[in-house]
Structure 1
């Protein structure tokens, strides 16, 4: 995993470049280019993954606990045909609606959503 160093005052802050690298998720895709996460580091990752998988039927989905394993912050990347007719804001609203029972317990959420290009 690649990291960038950013200075905030006197302390460096590591930022995961993969979170901001949308090119992977933006490429043209079809169902044969499916990219669903296979390994989970925490039970929380697996539960969030299962919720999104059942509601969105995505062709690409990755859920990472970026809080060091305590379940207070997640990075989610998802590509689904259900997003095709929605703006980015509406895509995020849909994901937030699906996760509405969990989000209040979290400190933060990093979310990347993408339409399936035909």
Structure 2
């Protein structure tokens, strides 16, 4: 790896870490749009987060939805609901990382968490 590549890689990594930890005022339009669609589909969701993990270009997103609707559904069904909700938007993405969760019991605040990666148009 050339010196310039190392410098650029380090800068991009620091920028992404800053963006991840910074205030939501830095949300991209794509993040806001996806979050809005998810909030309409899952109004009972206690937590919805969308992050553009492609550096802001909108090619790859990380989506987290915590909802009671997932409680009695297998992971595949949970992720299918999110995929179907974002079906039109996913067509224009390189990929999406989906994580879903629900509270196991009201008294403990323990979460059941599942994660899946989906890639569209993977080019090597």
Match of 1:43 in 2: 29
From 58, 72, 77, the equivalent of 2:59 is 72
Shift of 1:39: 4.3
Shift of 1:62: 0.8
Aligned length: 87
Distance in structure 1 (CA, Å) of the matches to 2:58 and 2:91: 12
> Is 1:60 matched with 2:47?
yes
Shift of 1:117: 2.5
Match of 1:81 in 2: 68
Unaligned runs of 5+ in 1: 1-13, 17-36
1:76-116 deviation line (CA, Å, top 9, x unaligned):
11100111121111000000000011101100111110123
How do residues 1-118 of structure 1 correspond to structure 2 at under 5 angstroms? 39-57=25-43, 58-118=45-105
Distance in structure 1 (CA, Å) of the matches to 2:37 and 2:46: 14
1:101 aligns to what SS in structure 2? helix
Query: Would you say the 8 A contact 1:83–1:116 is kept in 2?
Result: no
User: Greater share of helix residues, 1 or 2?
Assistant: 2
| TM-score, normalised with respect to structure 2 | 0.62
Match of 2:3 in 1: none
Name segments (4+ residues, structure 1) moved above 6 Å: none
Q: Which has the higher contact order (CA 8 A, sep 6+)?
A: 1
